[in-house]
Amino acid sequence: MIKFSILFNSLILLLIRNIINKEDPSTFSNYFQIKQKHLDANFYLDFDKSIIKAKVKLYFDALLDGELIILDSKALKINSIIDPDTGDELKYEYDNKFSLRTLGTPLKIFKEYNKGDYISIVMNYETTKEGGGAQWLKPEMTEGRKHPFMFTQLESILCRELIPIQDTPNAKLTVSIGITVKKPLKALYSGIYQNNIDNGDTISYFYEQKIPAPSYLIAIAAGNIEERKISDRVKVYAEPEIVDKAYEEFSDSDKFVEIGETYTIPYEWGQYNILVLPKSFPYGGMENPTLTFVTPSILAGDKSLVNVIAHEISHSWSGNLVTMSSWKDFWLNEGFTVFLERKIIELLVDEDTSKLKSIFGEKGMINAINNMGSSKTASSLNPFIIGKHPDDIFSEVPYEKGYNFLYRTQTIINKNAGDDYFKLILRSYFDKYKYQAINNSKWKEHLNEKIKEKFKDKSDEIIKEIDYDYWVYTPGIPKYKNDFNNSHIIDADKYVKEFFDGNYNESFKDTFVKWGTDKKLYYLLQIHTNEKGTQLTDKGFKFLGETLNLTKAYNSEITNEFFSIMLDNKKLDYKNDLINFLEKYGRMKFLRPLYRGWGSIDKSGAYACFEKNKNWYHPIAVRLIEMDFKKLN
Ligand code: BES
Ligand code: ZN
């Protein structure tokens, strides 16, 4: 009861505060009063204790008069906070009445300032094992099994578990950082490398990020890391055991950047590097500026999963230059990025391939909406997020509903313009809003302005056809459908029909192996979604497992799709292979649906497997999978 009322009070206070500061409800900070601008950080990575010992100096612009700096924090141990101008210690306290499991605890620092001041504070602190911002891997959890590894994952709101900070995309900041590690480990940062200093047993690496970026894009990693140069702009980093494989897989990345910048505006971040993380990395990719993090599960050996790279590169414009101002507008980051990702594929490969991927996306969106219930605000592009952890409502909706909205807008505009006017609208959008954090009404405003400029009298009609508010505010599966028909599906559909007709032809295997990954995935997805509702027979299922040999992991996406078919049809025929797959990658895109599927057939069996692997799964994955299990009855 007491617990309940504390939670209730926190929520009420949060609601009130949210009315006052308007933009981002996921931060406790008073960024609208005093706004951070720059961070100077010195990190010592203590691998023995799995913590960071940190000294940071945070600089602010005072936008109003005040006597308090409120920062976000969670699971941090503050040792002292100092006013560098006087050398005096500043008084500070944790504001526990606001404390929430989801958002952490506000850190109140008592310091007076006047509007227009540029001030700084110095904080000495340590991270703790309770914090989830960084994952510390024992040598056994790495590819090489000889050296430890650590990496951060700060999107969505985990920066506050690493640094006391204004953990909101509204307070973009530049960063200078020194990271010290024991030799022979190497430390990387999401910024431009400057130099290193050899201190004997340890070595310090220095980096700068001069473009103001949101706190969730701060990223560090350290381990036994080697590099391979792809071009003057692009490098690949990975453990020595896989670095050559990664180099081959990602050798086209410079071209992706080039296409991205010719379609949008110039690439401003200088370098574009990719770091392949150990298998516990919980996402496919993460767009840390100058240093994309990726899962090793995309090292397919045939470049068939490099759309993840195209996606993360695309964030260099949508997300990293122009950033959503709160997690409510997450689709501004992800929907635009999927649009650019598929545009890169369209320009580099062909339009049909891009459309084929759009079909996967659409199926994913429909599935996500059906799973959560089509009345949930999370199935709209304007979810309710107050008091929630943004990770808890993560789904494909902002990605694919956002994408479908933009794709349809493009179709309508270009049809009326007779040329690619939509591209010009996007370019001017990136130019106008770069370095800023904006909400979706800024995009609406910009779009409508550009439509009026070009189409004059006809613009009202076009704006109506686009139906902006419908797309953004209405939950559920969109009533508008895009046409993604393409040449690849016609051929594959023939074989899908054969499958459901019960013709399991041995010789199909020879055809199947020659198909590209996307076509194979399409075939499996059709069988999976099974729109005609035909029973998946044991014989049919064995055909997939044995004849097509899909039980062994040779391409992570295909294997994942195969096991999804198995579990959604309440089968557990290849349980051992499933376990092998669940032990191979800690990527949530695979783990969460597979555990959910297995759990709905045999909860204790599935949970036992999860328990066994939870020591190396990422803390974010562990938390969310636990949550998924709780929802199973
Ligand atoms: N920014 C996301 C990853 C993310 C989202 C991390 C929300 C934390 C919270 C990244 O750009 C992403 O979308 N990755 C996808 C790639 C895919 C859409 C090609 C992934 O991880 O699967
Ligand atoms: Zn993304």
pLDDT digit string (tens) for 315-327? 999 999 999 999 9
Asked whether residue 507 carries a pLDDT value surpassing 80, the answer given is: yes
What is d(CA 46, CA 180) in angstroms, rounded to the nearest whole number?
Answer: 9
Please give the structure tokens belonging to residue 472. Answer: 């953004």
What is d(CA 460, CA 452) in angstroms, rounded to the nearest whole number?
Answer: 8
Measured over the CA atoms of residue 625, residue 588, residue 275 and residue 292, the dihedral's sign is negative
- Order across the sheet with 134-137: list the strands: 134-137, 149-152, 220-223, 186-189
The confidence band for 552, taking pLDDT boundaries of 50, 70 and 90, is confident
The confidence band for 494, taking pLDDT boundaries of 50, 70 and 90, is very high
Q: Which atom of ligand 1 is nearest to the CA of 341?
A: 19
What is d(CA 351, CA 344) in angstroms, rounded to the nearest whole number?
Answer: 10
Q: Which atom of ligand 1 is nearest to the CA of 337?
A: 11
574 is catalytic: no
312 is catalytic: yes
Q: What is the mean pLDDT of residues 85-109?
A: 97
Rounded (5°) CA angle 248-249-252: 90
Per residue in 558-595, pLDDT (tens digit) is 999 999 999 999 999 999 999 999 999 999 999 999 99
Cβ atoms of 301 and 245 within 8 Å: the answer is yes
Which of 159, 277, 286 has most ligand 1 atoms within 8 Å of its beta carbon, as the pocket-test mutant?
A: 286
Asked whether residue 116 carries a pLDDT value surpassing 90, the answer given is: yes
Annotated catalytic residue, options 239, 312, 334, 346? 312
Distance from Cα 166 to the centre of ligand 1, integer Å = 22
Please give the structure tokens belonging to residue 596. Answer: 């959910």
Q: Could you tell me whether strands 234-238 and 220-223 are parallel, antiparallel, or unpaired per DSSP bridges?
A: unpaired
Predicted confidence at residue 377, as pLDDT, reads: 98
Predicted confidence at residue 1, as pLDDT, reads: 47
Share of the chain above pLDDT 90, in %: 95
Whose C-alpha lies nearest to ligand 1, atom 21? Answer: 284
Annotated catalytic residue, options 283, 399, 407, 595? 399
Q: Which atom of ligand 1 is nearest to the CA of 333?
A: 1
Whose C-alpha lies nearest to ligand 1, atom 20? Answer: 284
- Order across the sheet with 226-229: list the strands: 226-229, 234-238, 272-276, 291-294, 285-286
Predicted confidence at residue 633, as pLDDT, reads: 81
- Please list all protein residues whose beta carbon sits less than 5 angstroms from ligand 2, which is an ion: 334, 337
Cβ atoms of 365 and 404 within 8 Å: the answer is yes
Q: Does any ligand 1 atom lie closer than 6 A to the CB of residue 519?
A: no
Asked whether residue 4 carries a pLDDT value surpassing 90, the answer given is: no
Asked whether residue 3 carries a pLDDT value surpassing 80, the answer given is: no
Q: Does any ligand 1 atom lie closer than 6 A to the CB of residue 587?
A: no
The closest of 1, 26, 155, 120 to 618, measured between CA atoms, is: 155
Rounded (5°) CA angle 630-602-101: 15
Phi, psi at 588, each rounded to 5°: -65, -30
Predicted confidence at residue 553, as pLDDT, reads: 61
Asked whether residue 386 carries a pLDDT value surpassing 80, the answer given is: yes
Write down the pTM of the prediction.
0.97
Asked whether residue 535 carries a pLDDT value surpassing 90, the answer given is: no
Q: Does any ligand 1 atom lie closer than 6 A to the CB of residue 24?
A: no
